[in-house]
Structure 1
Amino acid sequence: MSASEFLDESPPKIAEEAEVAAPTTRWFKRRKPLGALAALLAAAVALPVGVHVTDEEKPQTRQRQDAPLSEAQARRLAEESGKEVEVTAARSANTTTWAKPDGSFRKQVFSAAIRAKVGEVWKPVDTALERVEGGYAAKAVNGRVLFSAGSKPQVASGGERSSRSVTRVALRRDTPGEVWTELVRLNTDGYEMVVSWPGALPEPTIDGPRALYENVRPGVDLVMTAQDGGYSHLLVVKDKQAAADPSLAQLNYRLASPDLAFHLDAESGAVSARDYKGEEIAGSPSPLMWDSSGKVATTDDQPAWMPTDVAKDHPTLGLAGMAGAEGARIKVAKAALADGMLSITPDSSWLNAPETVYPVFIDPSFKGHKRSWTLLYKTEGSSSFYNGQNYNSGGTNEARVGYESTTGGTSRSIFNFDFGSELHGAAIVSASVRALQTYSWSCSQKQMDIYSTPYINSSSTWNNTTGFWNRKIATDMSGYGYNSSCPDKWIAPDIKAIVTEAATSRWGALSLGFAAPNESDSYYWKKFLANGETAPYIEIVYNTPPDIPIAANMQTFPGGPCLTTAPGTSIGKTNVTFQVKGTDRDNNLHGIHVEIWDWETGYLTYHEWLTANSDGVITKEIPESYFTSGRRYGWKSKTYDTDGWESPGAGPMDSGGGGWCTFTVDHTVPPSPTVTSTHFPPPGANHSDWSVNPASTPGQKIDIRGSGVAGTDIREYQWSLNRPAFDQKAIPTSGDLATISLQADIAGPNVLYVRTVNKAGNISTGTEYPFYVRARTGLDSPGDVTGDGRPDILAIDSAGNLRTYAGDSAGDTDAYIPGAVQNGKPVADGYWKDKATGKSALIGHSTNRFPGDGLTDLIARMPDGKFYVYPGTGTGQFDVGRRMEMLLPPGAPNPSIFRQIVVTEDVDGDGFADMFALDADGLWFFSGYTGASFTTVKKISGSWSPRDIVSVRDISGDGVPDLLFRSDSDPNRGLILRRGKPGPNGGADITSLSSAANSADGQDNTYATTYWSRAELPLVLGTPDANGDGIPDIWVTSVNGNQYLFPGARDHMPGTPTGNDGDGWNTFLTIG
């Protein structure tokens, strides 16, 4: 049973568009290297838009157009409606696509254009001529063709005229008495050419797509017919007398183009117009002559040519020979091309032969290269009948297949179907080639074979295509168009296999040849329409599967982007995260399959289908235990959608990546690096070696080496200062040596953290390189003991040793130095606590206590119950050998009862440093410090057992010191701010700090709420501004062993710390 028996006999429906007016902009010329220009003699690149209509033509109203529907939008609408919906965004001149309710798509790919874009609107091809500025042009075609409006007066005798005036155009003279008239101007894909006629031309008579120029020579008419993508050119020689005109001995046409070159094929006489790359833009087949002896075979002998009413007054338009050369006596004219002149030489013996029936027709035609087909005629085996020209005059193209006994001619036909990249990778559900059969020798079903052939052009002939017929892909049994018992009908042989191959191999076009299996039996002879919407087309039902992943969208962490060359990326002893981004034109991507294997053995290491996120990305972490050190691995991925379709291959190889992603695993951990520096020597055994230059000296050098690792195996060194962040990089520049340039702004203890990262990404254990930086010259600022201007922290560890931590704005306290020395050496362990009782010293520092040296000193209530002053050395250390016992004023309590001391700058405005202390329940104030003694002492408040002093400094910003303390009795009010009143001598009125009622606000203010209890934060220390905002800050230790820096605020402190050091701070005895 023939597939065609189930087909609708009507031609395929073409989407209609709203009528629009021709724009009123002038033509423009755009030079662009495309591949199919109209060029030559009659190759009419049909008229696009962009021409001027005359005043006599009324523009049609532009109707509003809906926005084009994308594939995804049409697919959704089809699913919702249960009906096919056109993908209007995918329209082209020769293709139409519909979304089907089941999620697939249906596409028709024609061998000829079925629509043309007029302005921004697709419209059915309309070759009817209309008067425009400069001549006559077709209404809606793909390309531009402008026929001459004539160059000499002629009396109208019927037919359509756009005006009664004569248009004088394009007259030029090469030699005296020689006149050339621009006959046709062609423009396609931005290329332009002009064909000129040797002499003046009359004003034409317009009959649909035809322009008749009568009596261009005595007894000779010229008929120009607009076609989509080109035009036909026909000289009608009415009798032998006209044929005897010497001007017909050689017909000359002048060809000109600013960007095309013209070539003549010596064998066929076909002319082509080629761009700078040599690609054919347009072509003219072999020039053909035929007489009026033929009869076109039609169904039930119906007329092959139906003249219009215009032919009554212009008989040439009604001649039977206008239908073409079928059945007539034919002869190929000779063609020559030289210096831009195309010369056609008719065969004089044929013209004068007694059997030649006049009128005679001479047809040198031309058409653009795109959307083309050709007739191959064995009798004229070296001649080209590109796009059926000559055999099919007047724009009614018919393809022929098989042997025709009346003339003894044998024909084959080849069609080009251009679809670009639209079907690349598509999953083909079904595909058929459909052709409207208009004639067969009888109603008997006879076979026709269909072949996959190379792409044809204007030089294709019977003789040079004999090698095209070696791949038969389908057959069709049919017999339609002979009479009313078997009328015209569409055939549709199945070609799914070749279309699938085209989609998989990413072809841009498909060429199909029609041939009879028996080319000596006339019963196999058939004809098919070959123009417009009745041209052969391929109908394809397909699903657009997701795209094959590309290398650029595949990567690992670590490792980076996919590499396809050995050994690939190098990955160390770590889990490996694989990431792939998939894409799908239908926007229904569901997931991605990842497959990993051992490169040498092929053993499958891992594979899994993974669901993609909304961005089409999957991420999968594979444990390092899956990989063996020293082995190379490959990996690939493919996609699948919600309809169950998989990508037609796996990436990156099948998407053009040149291979599979590959990586090599190396679990070898490099040794820790070696660090040396002359600018920053290590502290030495006695902690007595300091930097060459003081803090903040720029350009200090530190060298890093790989400890035996070759420089070629080192990716980088990672380093950081005073915290193990390793957020800086140093790349070896000479072997394994990398030198970093450092400016250490913190005086006192510093530590450089360095580690090695090898090419595989394995990371060494970090090297800690401690060093001491000398203080800058000048007086210490409050809280600073190292000389860098920043407040520092003193702490007593669980062993009873004093440590000095250099403070910084970020709250990092990774490095410290021994805080107590005697004769330049650290004191023995346990100096700061009683070994028998475990009682620790209470410590505090703020400013200079030994007059004259400008260095911050340490005040300590030692385990023996006495106060001492320990002179600072300016380097963050205190000399225990020079300590002095502090004298207290009369009435002072025994220092042994104190549980906290807070050493401050001048609070009461007398010009001397002060101190606050807490006993079991009372708050004491010591004032007027001079020469290791205080002059006054006063208990200013009681009921302090649940409270701890945090800070006595100006917090609110009014220039008056305030009292900040912790209350352990109210969990919702952890820190309390009591604002001081100005004192008589400046500073604060101490009485205003004694109670809430006496304060500046008459009440205590909540400074921080929860999580400030003694259980959670055992040690709390207020400090001068550390982060540079001008507000005092707070150091704390937590029960979990961390130490934090909380930046202060004027009225309510934020709850987020900026520093975090986990160095077992829950074991420290005190800070101060």
Structure 2
Amino acid sequence: MLEVLTPQAATNPALRQVRYGLGGDMRVTRAVDGGLSLADASGEELLQASPAVMWDSSISTPTPGLQERVASPEDTGQAGTGTEVPVPSDLVSTAQRPGVLAASAPVEVAVSGSDLTLTPDPNMMAASPAAFPLFIDPAFSKLRSKWAYASSNGENNDTSSARVGLSPESGARYRSFFSFDTSAMSDTTVLTAKVLMKLDHSSSCEPTWVHLYRTGSWTASSGNRLAWSSYPLGSSATWLDSWEGNANEAGGCGSQQQNSDAVFEGGTLLQDVQAQVGSSNSYWVGLCACNQEDEWESAQDRWKKFFTDRTYLVATFDVKPNPPVGLAFTTTTDCYRQCASPAVLRSFTPTLRAQVQDRFGGVLGTAFEIRTSASLTGTIAVSSTTMPFASVTTVGNATGVATSKVPAGSLVAGVTYYWHATSMDEAGLWSGWGSWYSFTIDNTPPTVSNVTSTQYPFKSWGATPGTAGTFAFTAAGAAEYTWDIDGGSATTTTSASATYTPATDMVHTLHVKAKDSAGNTSSTYDYQFWVSPVPNAYSHWTFDETDPAKTAADTGSGFSARNPGTLTGGAHFVPGYLKNALHVSGAVGDGAVTSGPVLDTTKSFTVMAWVRPGSLSARPLQTFLTQDGSWMSRFQLQYRQDANGGRGGWCFTLSSADATGASKTISCAGQNVGIPTNGEWAHVAGRYDRVTGKMRVYVMGDPNSCAGEVTEATAPPSWSATAPFRIGHDFSGDIDDVRAYQRVLSDSEICQQASQ
């Protein structure tokens, strides 16, 4: 039922066509008379709807056009008598029925796909204010499931009419019985109920009574005869209601009397329907001319015939909403980590949230309540009348979310509170209280009291760059920590410690803040630590020896022992870039080799050398610095003919593992500066930074300006190469001033070495 309250509402364009969504698997068609028919998949009609209709609230006698409400003396400006005359109830239109004098009009109905469309009468929508509210009714009615009859003498009769009273043809008394399928009303609350019948004929020309009773169940097929004594009515049955009326279209009453609508309703019928639908899927009634004292059934003037296919049980029923289900508090303003019951909040005015649901959808009003214990006898902290009432509209069986914000000044910190909610639908049915949910308020932020580190003590010289340090946090009640170094990118962790590997030396500061489960945040704790400079540990081979010496001295420092290189194959000393240089022929194994590893290849390192190719065409791949593993070299400083699009270049290569077939990462330069050329010196350096995970190759062609090329790539994972350090290997040409550093040299430091 759609109620249009005011003329202003009637002008809303949405009312020109009113659309209702149709769901389920029923087939809906429009009947010839403008009503609707609902059938199942087999085509059996289960529901009928009479043509849609609308009516107004006018109470005047009929006049041409739309009817007007009769104005009171006060409305018309006439002098009143001082006595207010109440309007009779049968003149007042309601959503259930029009008033006796109300104007009505048909409503056009159309079915298209999943839409039911009603087109209200435009003239009635334009009625004067006195005619409002208007009522637009697309009413569906459920036809009786089946009917039967009983005759006092056991005679059979045709099934064209449902007969009641004393038959003038045979003298037998008749009763008619009807059953309705009420399975859809099981476990519901019945709000209204009435039985509608259509009277076809009466013996009397004046209204006479007929009574409706509730009977026991029967199993006969529709239209069959029941045994008279098996289904007694009158004083032996439950009386529901009575109705008086007459209908005689034959003209024997002096005028043609139209068919009459018999309506049985009232509190007794409503209560009985409610009681029966809770225990049965059918509702059984019997119609009799007899009253509750078993009188009048043999009175000839009470003989009546009703249509068998125009009997309906019309009921409005509802189910109470589901009890609300509590939802977690929002992290935006109320909580942080522990947002579900038992929740820990930081706000004194949190928003309670609950999932609400009604099988039939519609507007749900939800009330919230907070107590100091999970009991209806517990002390009320915030009453349901103090908490804002939440209204949520849902569609069908879909869920909605009801919210209510706790008023300021209602709660205190440190107390455990319990809340629950209950929902009410438009019919006034309450769901009952839902489950209890608890929360406490904690508005005290944690305090970071200390930070400690073994590797990097507070304001003391600690480990060198590239050494991972663990910083332990001390804070009571903290759920997580956020920290950064020197104001850089912040890291959030639930661990009470952080691991950080400094990339540079000297002074650094760790900033840390703690946050508790409610979201309260501490002030920042500053922890200063000093990173010791890396010792300048390196090996340096100048090759300034003279033939026939077969050992290249290591003139570097910082390592625990020197790493001289033994010349192998045909390698020998020749005039070089600075003084002497190492000349290698290009044969595999021709060069200088140390007795063991020089560098810890799991850490950062830098290698470099001056090289002068003798024959770039001798082989496409020529390595002049490398440190081997069991199967692979960890690094190679080399010439590659396939670099720079096949033009050749100087490359720094790192392998990913000490295994045959392990992948390699190759970074090459020498495309524009220090281009590999036979007989031309170039300074080539390779750098691996364990902290950043990057590798670089440097090529310097001009020692006076440091002009050169630098190429960077992401390095593969580190591993330890424990075999000797090799110089030459399979390079063809001269090599001078070879250096191997156990640290990352800066660009300027590499330039400085190349400028010597």
- TM-score exceeds 0.5: no
With normalisation by structure 2, the TM-score equals 0.40
State the TM-score, normalizing by the size of structure 1: 0.30
> Which structure would you say has the larger RCO, counting Cα contacts within 8 Å and 6 or more residues apart?
2
